Each structure stands twice: as structure tokens, then as C-alpha cells.
Structure 1
Amino acid sequence: MSSERKSSEEYVVIRHRPGYRLRRTAILLVFSVVAAVIGYTTGMAQGGFRFSSVEASKEVLEEEVAKLREEYTEARQRVINLDRGRAIDQQALKQARTTIVELETRIASLKSDLTFYKNIMAPSETSKGLQVDSFTLDRDRQPDAYDFKLVLTQVGNNKSYISGVVAVNVIGLRDEEKEVIALRDLSEDIDDLGVKFRFRYFQDVEGLLVLPEGFEPLEIQVVAQAEGRKSSQAERTFEWDDLTEN
């Protein structure tokens, strides 16, 4: 039985070649390295093409950016120039308007002066001799204080002087009762009840008046009395509200 088993077994004879496995491993390693080098070289070639494209695109973008920056600078300069021009135009327009207002004010003042002198030199038949021409009030910085100006004129015959006194009274209410206060008691610029005047054409009486506490002014009464050869009297009453409405 054992002899049959032995006869049926076959044996394979393999030739022993020392170093064969080592050489095969080395050859595979070399092929792997060569393949890697070829792949790297190909990739570099392709990568070099893409790099060149990126460089070209970068240059184009840089040119575009530079162009846009230049256009932006030019546009900004135009805006600055327009702003400066507009500011100059606005300033010039403002100055022109100011000049126009000043000229209109001056013209109105000259017309008023012209009318004033015309009335003095060429009066109507009903307005000759001593006249109370005007009384004006302007608010002062002090509370209840006003700068006043009274203008007296001699209309018609101006060859000689006219002289006399003028009295100014402020009529109003205090504690709901009528009260008359002389200008002398309201202004330190007036010393007497009657202010003396002497002139040929006109004379101004100016100063500062301060209203007492609790006094409500209603009217200003002016009475001018000429003395001597041209003796005459002129009276005029001015509403307080009309004088202070501006």
C-alpha cells in the first residue's frame, strides 16, 4: 500500500537560479521610475502651456486694471473740476445776488433821499414851512431798547434858518391805565423836554430809548414849535406797531 502511494506521487524539479528575484525587483523598480519621469515630463510640458496662458491672462488683466485706474483718475479729476467750477459759480452767483441786493437797497435809499429833497425844494402848496418828516425805531441789543431817529424839515423857503424846540412823548398803557412819558425820561441822549433845533433844510435827532418795565407803548407824539419870524407849529403822531413791524 505504501509502495503504491509512493509510485503515484510526482516530483517537479525547479532549477535553482540565485539572484533571479532580486533582478526582477530591480527591473520593475527601474520601469516604475522611468514611467514616473515620463509622466512628470509630460505633465511639466502641459503645465508649462497652462502657465504661459495664465501669464498672458495676467498681463491682459494688469493692462485692463491700469486702464481702469487711469479712467477712474480722469473721471475723479473731472468731478473735482466740476465741483470747483460749481463752487466758484455758486460763490460768484452769491456775490452777484448780494451786490444786486445792495444796489437795490442803495437805489431805494437814493430814491427816498431824492423824494425827500424834492419835497423840501419843491413842495406842494399845503406842505410848506416846518414839517415833522419822519420818526423811525430800530431794535437794540438791550431788552426793550430802541434806536430812534427824528427828522425835521423846512419845506419851501430855505433861504434862512428856522429854529425852535421839538418835544417827543411816548403814549402807552401801564396797569391798564394811559400814561404819557417824555422822551427825556426814556433816553439818556435827551436832556430837556424840548430839544432845540436850528437848520435850513433838515435836522436829525437821534438816540437810544429804553421802555420801563410793565409799560406797553402805543403811539409816539411829536410836536415841533418854530420861533421868531418863522413861528409855526408842526405835529405828527406815529403808531408804535407801524414803527416796529419790521
Structure 2
Amino acid sequence: MIPDEIRKTWGAFKFYSVLLALLAGAVYFAFMYGNDHFDVQKAQISTLEHTIENLNAENQRLTKQLNILGVELEVQRLAVRKSQNLLEKGLSNEARLKEEIQFYQRVMAPELEQDGFLIEAFDIKKSLSDRAYWFELVLMQQDKIKNVVKGTVEINVIGSEDGKPRQYKLSELLTEESPSLSFSFKYFQTIQGEMILPKNFSPEKVQVKSTIFQFNRKRGELEKTFDWNAEVLQTSTE
């Protein structure tokens, strides 16, 4: 073999010396290469750590900014909601005040309206009992010189029953606690009570007829019809 021939030619000491020198050189170059490679990796790791720190800082900044924007958005949303509530409340109060003003104008300043006796409104709301409803009839006098007027009212609930037209007198539907359908007033009066509708009866309209007396003489008659609604009755015909 070649190593044996070289060892015989150079001698054992010279051969092993050269071999140790080669081995030492290989170890040195390997160490230098590994050290250089370690420095490169260390630099790359340092760069990555710096990049991660920058990303974390940027993430914290963006998160803080997002939180601030979220708070500002919620504050604006609450402000808008509050403004809407105030606007709705204001509109509701305005409508209620207009109704009250119109009502008292008709009572205290009748020259703004037509003269005479008036069936002002017939309001109705659902009661807790089955088929039961609370009603309120508002009567008013619009003469400039107001004297006491008396009379009676006849109220008919018009609708259909089992697919056929049917009407009931309110006096037939009243509960025991309901008042009589008569009036006596100078400015206005309300008649309130509770009615119970028959089964299979669907109401559609309410017809109010009044007979008016003044100074013990019949002053006249007035009739007004309202459309049925579970909460509010709107005037249909007069």
C-alpha cells in the first residue's frame, strides 16, 4: 500500500510528523470554518431578534391605536343613539303638545273651529281579559257662549260574525262596572267603560249617535263613525 511505502521511505517519525501536521491543519481549518459559520448564524439570529422586536413594537402600537379607535367609535355610537333618542322623544312630546293645544283651543277658543257640539274621539285599548276592551268617548261643545248640554249617546259596534254582517249595541256589550251612556257638561266630557265582544265577532267600525238637549229642548242629533283599531280609532265618516 502507498502509506506503507511512504512510511518505509520517509521513516516512521517523519511520516507521523507529516500526518500530525496534516491533521492539525484540517482541525484548524475546520475550526475556522465553524467559527465563521457561527458568526454568520449569530448575526442572522441578531437580525431576526431585532426584526421581532420591531414587529412586536409595531404590533403594540397598532393594537393601542385600534383600541383608541374602538373607544372613539363606541363614544360616537352612543352619542348618535342618545341624539336619536332625544330626537324621538322631542318629536313625541311635540306631537303630544300639539294634540293638547288643539284640544284646549277647541275648548277655550271655539272661534278657531266650527261652532256646535262635537263627538271628538272614540279611543279603545285591549284589556287583559279575553275579548275585552276599554273605551273612552270624548264629547265637546264649541259654542262661544257655552251652556250646559245634556243628552244620550247610542254606540253600535259594526263588523262581521261567521262571515255575515253583524252589529251590536254597546249597551249589550258593557260590563257591570261601565257607566251609563248619557252626558251633561258645559265644556267637554268623557265617557269610559269596558266592553266584551262576542265570540266569532270581528269588529270593523264604531258608530256613535248622540241626541243633544239644551234648556230642556232638543238641540239636534249628531252621528260619527270611527274605523276599528286595537289601539286607536281613526275617523271614517261623519
Q: CA deviation at 1:66?
A: 0.9
Query: Following the alignment from structure 2 to structure 1, what is the Cα–Cα distance between the partners of residues 101 and 113?
Result: 20
- The equivalent residue for 1:202 is 188
Deviations 1:48-97 (A, max 9, x none): 22322322222222122111111111112222222222222122212211
Q: Which amino acid aligns with 1:66?
A: E
Q: Which residue, out of 222, 225, 228, partners 1:240?
A: 228
Q: CA deviation at 1:47?
A: 2.1
Q: Indicate the SS of the match to 2:156.
A: strand
Deviations 1:14-59 (A, max 9, x none): xxxxxx96x9456544533332222222222232223223222222
Query: Following the alignment from structure 2 to structure 1, what is the Cα–Cα distance between the partners of residues 22 and 128?
Result: 103
Deviations 1:84-122 (A, max 9, x none): 222221222122112212211221221122122212222
Matching of residues 60-209 of structure 1 within 5 Å: 60-124=47-111, 127-138=114-125, 146-157=133-144, 161-188=148-175, 191=178, 194-209=180-195
Query: Following the alignment from structure 1 to structure 2, what is the Cα–Cα distance between the partners of residues 114 and 195?
Result: 27
- The equivalent residue for 2:4 is none
Between the two proteins, the alignment pairs up a number of residues equal to 224
Q: Is the 8 A contact 1:164 1:226 kept in 2?
A: yes
TM-score (norm 1): 0.72
Structure 1 pair 210/75, CA: closer, same or farther in 2 (3 Å)? farther
Query: Following the alignment from structure 2 to structure 1, what is the Cα–Cα distance between the partners of residues 27 and 36?
Result: 14
Q: Which amino acid aligns with 2:99?
A: S
TM-score (norm 2): 0.74
Q: What 5-or-longer segments of structure 1 have no aligned partner?
A: 1-19
Q: Which amino acid aligns with 1:235?
A: E
Deviations 1:157-216 (A, max 9, x none): 576554444332202232454432122443537635x42444443333345544322223
Q: CA RMSD in A?
A: 3.5
Query: Following the alignment from structure 2 to structure 1, what is the Cα–Cα distance between the partners of residues 124 and 157?
Result: 12
Residue 48 (1) aligns with residue 35 (2):
yes
Query: Following the alignment from structure 2 to structure 1, what is the Cα–Cα distance between the partners of residues 43 and 176?
Result: 92
Structure 1 pair 47/199, CA: closer, same or farther in 2 (3 Å)? farther
Q: Is the 8 A contact 1:137 1:244 kept in 2?
A: no
Query: Following the alignment from structure 2 to structure 1, what is the Cα–Cα distance between the partners of residues 169 and 177?
Result: 10
Q: State which drifts further: 232-241 or 94-103.
A: 232-241
